[in-house]
Structure 1
């Protein structure tokens, strides 16, 4: 008999270590009911069903040295809205406020070749 080490199946169920037969059993003329051994079968954990959009997370190592396998992670509705362009409402709000306020001052429409006036607090030729 071959010994099988304890492990987790792909569906998440835990399998205890056990001995497995190396040869198949002889053909049975009829199906016999399984014998009661007093052990309970491991509980099957239900897999989490994703109802929304997901993203793939690449495998990585944490700071404490734990390795994390690559997996799919669900995305929050807020993240989806920002990625889809729904987060631009604030910019629209600012533009509407600027339009209602009258836009920029008339001072900004001066010709570009005008020189700024000197400060009256500092004498000419001295820079602060």
Structure 2
């Protein structure tokens, strides 16, 4: 309810200060609550995913809903996108064997003199 200050109307009639209802009264008496008529929901084409209810950063509440999945997202999940590259690198690392991580260049062997610490002779 909001308060209306006393004032004069355009036709010069005086209106006392009063509390005004926020909603106007309905013309017909309320005997039973009205039932909401369900609206037909649009059916998304293609695959969908469920988005859980959450709050946005500005405080707006988002109800849970189904969202369409784009073909690009399906391709990434299926492995033709970035996931395939990760699998390839993993297989390459496994196939190269345990010697691939040594510091010596391929095809060379360290000499015995380089691996033995030098002794100082006076």
- TM interval, shorter chain, is 0.3 to 0.5
Bigger Rg over Cα: 2
Instruction: Compute the TM-score of the two structures, normalised by the length of structure 1.
Output: 0.39
Instruction: Compute the TM-score of the two structures, normalised by the length of structure 2.
Output: 0.41
